Structures are given as C-alpha cells and as structure tokens.
Structure 1
Amino acid sequence: MKDEKNVYLVIGLGRFGQAICRTLAEKGKQVIAIDRTRQLVEEMAEVVDLAAQADATDSDALTKVGAKTADIAIVAIGSNIEASILATTILQDLQIPYVIARAENYTHARVLARVGANKVVFPERDMGERLATLLIHPWMSHFVQVPGSLFHV
C-alpha cells in the first residue's frame, strides 16, 4: 500500500462497509462507496467523496464509478458469496493494486485468495479475537498482530 494519498473503493455498504467508509472519511481519506441498494448509497452520500448505486459484478459499472482510480479496494459484501467472488475477480481484472475481501467462511476465504484478494478478513471473528485479548490484557488499548505470529504488540 502506498502513501497517504490512497483512493479507497468500498463495495458493499452494510454495517461493515459503512464503518470502513466513515472511519476513512473521518481521517480525511478519499472514498468511493458503492452498493446495489439505493437507501444504503443515500446514507453514505454525505459521508464519502462519491457514493454510487452500482452492481459490483459488472465491470462496466465499476469502471463508470471510477473504480480504476482506486489504490485499495475493500469488498465488504456480506452473505452474497457469489457477488463477493465476482467483484474480487473484476477488481483484479481492473488491476486495482490492493484488494481486501470479507469472507463468510474458510472455503470462501480460500476462493477469494485464489481469485486475487491480497488480504481476506473475517470481521466477526477478528473483532471477537481482539475483544478477548483486550479482556485478558486490559492495559492494551491498541495492538496489531505481527504477521506470521501468534503474538500481538
């Protein structure tokens, strides 16, 4: 991932996608947010630089909303595994440099990695692990996992 000037593309504006958009926007980052659902797009219109109703499984639709300008794309699609995989594949075809995708299960995660996701996340599992660690070690207000390690610092 590059420097502070990254353009972020967030696909899927459920709770997870909206939280990503809000946090990035609050930090002054440029965010393009898309979803199929008009109401969710309207909720984010005042938060992000561009909110668009589009089908992330349609390469032309992604191109029209400026997806090719993104340095980092987050596929935050929830339970629609097929759409998640197709969107991730299209982002690779569009040569987005870094793609993060949300997985519903381990098989889904393996497929996402195979079609080009640079990082696969499990929001509920990941947050559960972080919360448990904070409960065990309350003095840790912030921590990151060292790649390839079981330890957090």
Structure 2
Amino acid sequence: SSPSPSGAAPSRTARPSRTADPTPEPDPEPQGTSSGAAETPGADPPAACQVDYDVLNQWPEGYQAAVTVTTRHTLDGWRVAFTVPEGHRVTHMWDASVHQTGGRVTATAADYNAAVAAGGHLSFGFLTARQGSDTRAYDFTLNGRVCEVA
C-alpha cells in the first residue's frame, strides 16, 4: 500500500526525535562561568555607602575631621574603617569609639546611634596628631563593604 501524503509521513518524521538519546546534552558553557545579562565583566558591585569626608580645622600638628556616611542598607550597628596617612594618630573621636592599628582606623557606633535606616546617615568626628601636611583619609568601608567617597 502506498503512503498517503498526510498519513504515515508525519509519524516517520516524528520518530527520529523520539529515538534520539534521552540524556540531556551537557551544558556547552564551562562550570563556574555565567552568561547572565546583568553581569558585566570587570564591573564592581554598587558601593554599600557614600562617604563625605571633611577636614574642618587644621594646625601644624593635627586636624579635625568630620565623616558622614549615607548607607544603602538598614543598619543595627556599624563599623566604619578607613586609612589615614602614615604617622597620623587619632587622638579623640566623638559619636563613635575608635580603634587604630597603624594607619587603619575603625570607628564603631555608640549605643545611641547604632540604628540607621536604609538611605539614612551616620556621622562622627575626630582629632588627629600628625606628621606632615596630608589630611586625606581613604579606603572607607562600612561593616566590611566598600564605600564610595563623595
């Protein structure tokens, strides 16, 4: 008997797809990589905060600075760390407690200012004793996450 144009031909066409190996094909992309559209090679994640660092007063042996941090996340406590030039020592800090090892300074929230809403601000200030005229602070982090300096 001769096959009809619309009869047996469709089932024969479908049969090879059913006889293909049912094991899924391996992912052609190597493990540990991603091709997500949201990722851009070399792009850094957004900063956790933005820092406004201001030197308010200075004199030959020291200076007074104020730090205001705007956070992207709600905080129930905070630690702001930053680096000051070699030979600088924070001698007094207000609205936070201070710890310094070498040029790395960590300001930790006081009980009364530990909670900060997302998009909110936290502030503290400090005095330093210094060698030289440099008053910059850099490499700011908030709870270990990188901050952008305004």
The alignment's TM-score, normalised by the length of structure 2, stands at 0.23
Give the structure with the larger helix fraction. Answer: 1
Name the one with the larger strand percent. 2
CA radius of gyration, larger in? 2
TM-score, length-scaled by structure 1: 0.23
- Greater relative contact order (Cα < 8 A, sep 6+): 2
